[in-house]
Amino acid sequence: MPSAEQSAVEIRLEDYTPPDFLIDTVDLTFDLSPSQTHVRSQMKIHRNGVHDRALVLNGEHMTLLSVQVDGRALTENQYVLTETTLTIFDVPDQAHVVIENRIDPASNTALEGLYQSAGNFCTQCEPEGFRRITYFIDRPDVLSRYTVTLIAEADLYPILLSNGNPVAAEKCVDGKHMARWVDPHPKPSYLFALVAGNLTRITDEFVTQSGKTVELGIYVEAHNADRCDHAMASLKHAMRWDEQVYGREYDLDVFNIVAVDDFNMGAMENKGLNVFNSRYVLAKPDTATDGDYAGIESVVAHEYFHNWSGNRVTCRDWFQLSLKEGFTVFRDQEFSADMGSRAVKRIADVNLLRQVQFAEDAGPQAHPVQPKAYREINNFYTSTVYNKGAEVVRMLRNLLGADTFRQGTDLYFDRFDGQAVTIEDFVSCMAEVSDLDLAEFRQWYDVAGTPKLLVRDEYLEGQYILNIDQMVPESAKGHPYMLPFGFALFDEAGQPVLLDGKAEHILIVEQLSQSWTFSIEKNHADLLVPSLNRGFTAPVEVQYDYSDEALGVLSRADTDAFNRWDAFQRRIQRCLLGRIRMAMDVGSVGEDALPEDLSKAFGQLLLEAAQDPMFVAECIALPSENYLADQFDHDTPVEWIHHERARLRQQLAAEWESTLQLIYQSHDQDGVYRFESRAAGQRQLRRQVLSYLCSLKRSAWTQLAKEQFERADNMTESFNALVALNVSDSAEFEHVLTAFEARWRHDPLVMDKWFALQAQRSDENALARVQGLMEHPTFSIKNPNRVRALIGSFARINPLRFHDSSGSGYQWLADRIIELDAMNPQIAARMASVFNTWKRFDGNRAALMRAALKKIHDRPDCSADLAEITGKALG
């Protein structure tokens, strides 16, 4: 029998209706205490339209104390209270509603609503957490002006923060104090936040383009005060960038960021008071890697950019989530590209899209960028909504050109400022400022799945003909997509071939089958190599019958760095997939030699190491085991993938050993650590090179890694040594692991790296080791970061051991998910998505994965979050 939770109703976009009532102002008073926080809410509401329906407020997991309408206390027959709603009858068209309720933050392990982290109070309201704080019309199209008064014990919670500007603070009797905040900008409830705690404040200021001074604050636990510089610098860069690139200025007197250790996601853009997972704030050279620094830069910017794309202009309903998320991810991607290496940033973003979003789009959780129905909106904070959504905005930018796109965003921000709007509104602004008909473009928002483009070409004398056929997903019902398609042509020597006199074209693809004829200057009797979808202008899979030689030309000479990388990766992938298929047939790892052209291309890339170390590091990184696995739609050969990938690494390392050694040495850095593009590129290159060398399992190289670990004065170099040693199962590895733990065992964020690395070790003891680490004093199943680091890394990044044919990995994970579900359904649901791929495995594994899914799903108390994911996965 399905439980009450599991039968959560489906919400459909087509059923949208405007709210029956609007809330003009809300005045909230919190008397904070861990298990009995008292909330008083005074709302001025008015009826929206002409109707006689009752006022229905959302409210969950709390105790109602009293309800008043226009000064009169309601008796129990004047309202109806259920587990999720409070319905008040006979409300006048305009009314003053006062509600008092009690909540229990200390026992809130779901980390939605008001909860405690490290003894401090904080909130997470997006998407539907506010209804766990007080009774409210908790939907994004109800915009209200908030006044918030916080009362708490002064010595335990000296800092009291909320949205907007501070307007009052005073001592109360009995050791308490109070602070009042007023947010002048109407906002939806999901942007509400409060923080109360014992925190240290790092301050700075920013002068906006119109000359207003904004006070900036980052609040952290006292012992982390020396880890905020990078987040603060990133914030100031982001504020300036948004002025310069989008003309958007900040609009309050203060901007605060608070770092909390227990947080379900990365961070949250609450108006004027961003709350962050501490991993996206805290960094200093000896605790954070270059990757951490880059992550902080982009998440700080992302949340800041939401102030316009999300807060000033917000979403009408949660089906419009990508309106704010796709656009904001696009904005943060471009910001990071401007701060560092544009090409490398594009490679990283596309890599993520292909590995995560393409996989999502090909599996049971596939949904359009604008979903049409959901049961639990928490499950729709997905790579499709975020990353594919960003690609769709990028395509608009590419179709319109940067200047017209900017006109479109100006129009959008101006026209809809202070409103809750739809994706359609955004696209209409883009159509209005350009002369493009974007009606067909809408399909990108409406249809799930990744389109494939089949490309063919031919050349006759003086002419080059390009044909593109679209293979659209079934749900597109044969309708073509509209997309920009970057295109250029090279000859055998890697020289650009002018097409109609131009080196590069952005074609608009909009028919199921289309062809273009270009005049080309010379008569190229030999090889002509097209460079397709340059810069990944559209989120599609491109199929073209490249010869190995043609890929060699592109990886050597393409003037688009992204496509150079892509060409080399395609060559590696072709080699690996061929070998994996052969191993499957023969039943053993191959013995064939390294293909000469691949080796040569690898060597050529190494020659460029000094010029652009970061780019070379990206190129020589082998495709992940998961990405290779995604290329199989049945009988995924996890073992052969693992072994053949390792064999190719060893072959390349053996062939280029001395060059790799030279590169390693010549990119050694002295001087203090700085997070800056070239230096980070060199460190990344040394990481790759050292991993290749250590794969040879020669003590000269494992010693070198150990020395790197011992000499390192920054986390990037010390952790990279661990990563390199992890491919070598050497005595040195055990040694550095122990040393790392001894140094960092009291620093959970740093220990997450150690947990994650061990969870990824592919030896036979992997599962037992992970089980053992669950008992480690730094581990806690209540903390989402620890769970992701240890349990998540094993399930996601250790396919060889997670997919052990005994099913031990599956069973163990299913039990952990069940354990998590009782505490934090959001995290449990996210973990469960590793089972999505069950149909792509052999009969034995598929049956075992399915059994694990059923065990999770068929419990009467399975949460709605988890039931939706497992239900879809079971199909």
Q: Catalytic residues, which ones?
A: 303
740-799 binders of ligand 0A1 (CB under 6 A): none
**With CB under 6 A as the contact rule, which of the stretches 263-271, 396-404, 513-521, 795-803 interacts with ligand 0A1?**
263-271
Contact 453/545 with Cβ under 8 angstroms?
A: no
Nearer to ligand 0A1, 91 or 267 (CB): 267
Smallest distance, Å, CB 279 to ligand 0A1? 13
**With CB under 6 A as the contact rule, which of the stretches 57-65, 233-241, 265-273, 451-459 interacts with ligand 0A1?**
265-273
Nearer to ligand 0A1, 262 or 625 (CB): 262
Phi, psi of 822 (to 5 degrees): -70, -25
In angstroms, the Cα distances linking 66 to 63, 79, 770, 818 are 9, 11, 49, 36
Smallest distance, Å, CB 382 to ligand 0A1? 11
Neighbours of 529 (CB within 10 A): 25
Q: Is 325 in the site for ligand 0A1 (CB under 6 A)?
A: yes
Smallest distance, Å, CB 258 to Zn ion? 17
Interface residue with ligand 0A1, options 142, 202, 220, 267 (CB under 6 A)? 267
> Which residues are registered as beta bridge partners of 182?
147, 165
Distance CA 290, CA 190 (A): 32
Structure tokens at 285: 């050279």
Q: Is 865 in the site for ligand 0A1 (CB under 6 A)?
A: no
Q: Is 322 in the site for ligand 0A1 (CB under 6 A)?
A: no
Interface residue with ligand 0A1, options 88, 178, 218, 265 (CB under 6 A)? 265
Nearer to Zn ion, 239 or 848 (CB): 239
314-333 binders of Zn ion (CB under 5 A): 325, 328
- How many residues sit in the footprint of ligand 0A1 (CB under 6 A)? 13
Smallest distance, Å, CB 359 to Zn ion? 21
Smallest distance, Å, CB 269 to ligand 0A1? 6
- 114: DSSP letter: E
Neighbours of 795 (CB within 10 A): 26
Nearer to ligand 0A1, 292 or 325 (CB): 325
Smallest distance, Å, CB 568 to Zn ion? 32
**Edge-to-edge strand ranges of the sheet holding 79-81:** 55-58, 85-88, 79-81
Interface residue with ligand 0A1, options 100, 126, 262, 717 (CB under 6 A)? 126
Distance CA 254, CA 213 (A): 9
Contact 490/526 with Cβ under 8 angstroms?
A: no
Smallest distance, Å, CB 773 to ligand 0A1? 27
Smallest distance, Å, CB 75 to ligand 0A1? 36
Q: Is 540 in the site for ligand 0A1 (CB under 6 A)?
A: no
List all residues 6 or more positions away from 821 whose beta carbon is below 8 Å from its beta carbon: 828, 856, 861, 862, 863, 866
Neighbours of 50 (CB within 10 A): 6
List all residues 6 or more positions away from 6 whose beta carbon is below 8 Å from its beta carbon: 862, 864, 867, 871
Distance CA 371, CA 475 (A): 13
Distance CA 223, CA 860 (A): 44
Nearer to ligand 0A1, 180 or 306 (CB): 306
Smallest distance, Å, CB 325 to ligand 0A1? 5
List all residues 6 or more positions away from 711 whose beta carbon is below 8 Å from its beta carbon: 717
469-488 binders of ligand 0A1 (CB under 6 A): none
Smallest distance, Å, CB 381 to ligand 0A1? 5
Binding partner of residue 381 among ligand 0A1, Zn ion, none, CB cut-off 5 to 8 Å per kind: ligand 0A1
**With CB under 6 A as the contact rule, which of the stretches 221-229, 258-266, 347-355, 609-617 interacts with ligand 0A1?**
258-266
Contact 242/305 with Cβ under 8 angstroms?
A: yes
Secondary structure of the chain: what % helix, strand, coil (to 5)? 45, 20, 30
Binding partner of residue 578 among Zn ion, ligand 0A1, none, CB cut-off 5 to 8 Å per kind: none
In angstroms, the Cα distances linking 871 to 89, 243, 853 are 37, 45, 8
Structure tokens at 638: 């996890």
802-831 binders of Zn ion (CB under 5 A): none
Q: Is 60 in the site for ligand 0A1 (CB under 6 A)?
A: no
Report the helix count and the strand count for the chain, using DSSP H and E: 30, 31
Distance CA 196, CA 39 (A): 14
Nearer to ligand 0A1, 554 or 829 (CB): 829
Nearer to ligand 0A1, 387 or 470 (CB): 387
Distance CA 293, CA 259 (A): 15
- 860: DSSP letter: T
DSSP per residue, 86-102: EEE-S--SEEEEEEEEE
Interface residue with ligand 0A1, options 138, 183, 262, 269 (CB under 6 A)? 269
First to last CA, the chain: 18
Q: How many residues are given for the chain?
A: 875
Question: Letter for the amino acid at 577?
Answer: L
Smallest distance, Å, CB 267 to ligand 0A1? 5
**With CB under 6 A as the contact rule, which of the stretches 86-94, 208-216, 259-267, 620-628 interacts with ligand 0A1?**
259-267
In angstroms, the Cα distances linking 606 to 620, 621, 624 are 8, 12, 20
291-310 binders of ligand 0A1 (CB under 6 A): 302-303
372 Ramachandran zone, left/alpha/beta (phi>0; psi -120 to 50): alpha
Binding partner of residue 266 among Zn ion, ligand 0A1, none, CB cut-off 5 to 8 Å per kind: ligand 0A1
Q: Is 264 in the site for ligand 0A1 (CB under 6 A)?
A: yes
Neighbours of 554 (CB within 10 A): 26
Nearer to ligand 0A1, 302 or 845 (CB): 302
Smallest distance, Å, CB 126 to ligand 0A1? 5
Binding partner of residue 265 among Zn ion, ligand 0A1, none, CB cut-off 5 to 8 Å per kind: ligand 0A1
Nearer to ligand 0A1, 303 or 560 (CB): 303
Distance CA 66, CA 53 (A): 22
Nearer to ligand 0A1, 89 or 381 (CB): 381
Reference 250, options 302, 217, 214; nearest CA is 214
Contact 695/654 with Cβ under 8 angstroms?
A: no
Q: Is 381 in the site for ligand 0A1 (CB under 6 A)?
A: yes
**With CB under 6 A as the contact rule, which of the stretches 262-270, 549-557, 581-589, 715-723 interacts with ligand 0A1?**
262-270
Distance CA 378, CA 462 (A): 56
Structure tokens at 598: 């691949």
**With CB under 6 A as the contact rule, which of the stretches 80-88, 261-269, 282-290, 357-365 interacts with ligand 0A1?**
261-269
Distance CA 603, CA 596 (A): 10
722-741 binders of Zn ion (CB under 5 A): none
Q: Is 235 in the site for ligand 0A1 (CB under 6 A)?
A: no
Binding partner of residue 126 among Zn ion, ligand 0A1, none, CB cut-off 5 to 8 Å per kind: ligand 0A1
Contact 858/819 with Cβ under 8 angstroms?
A: no
Smallest distance, Å, CB 870 to ligand 0A1? 19
- How many residues sit in the footprint of Zn ion (CB under 5 A)? 2
Interface residue with ligand 0A1, options 268, 601, 723, 789 (CB under 6 A)? 268
Q: Is 124 in the site for ligand 0A1 (CB under 6 A)?
A: yes
Site residues (vs ligand 0A1, CB under 6 A): 124, 126, 264-269, 302-303, 325, 378, 381
Site residues (vs Zn ion, CB under 5 A): 325, 328
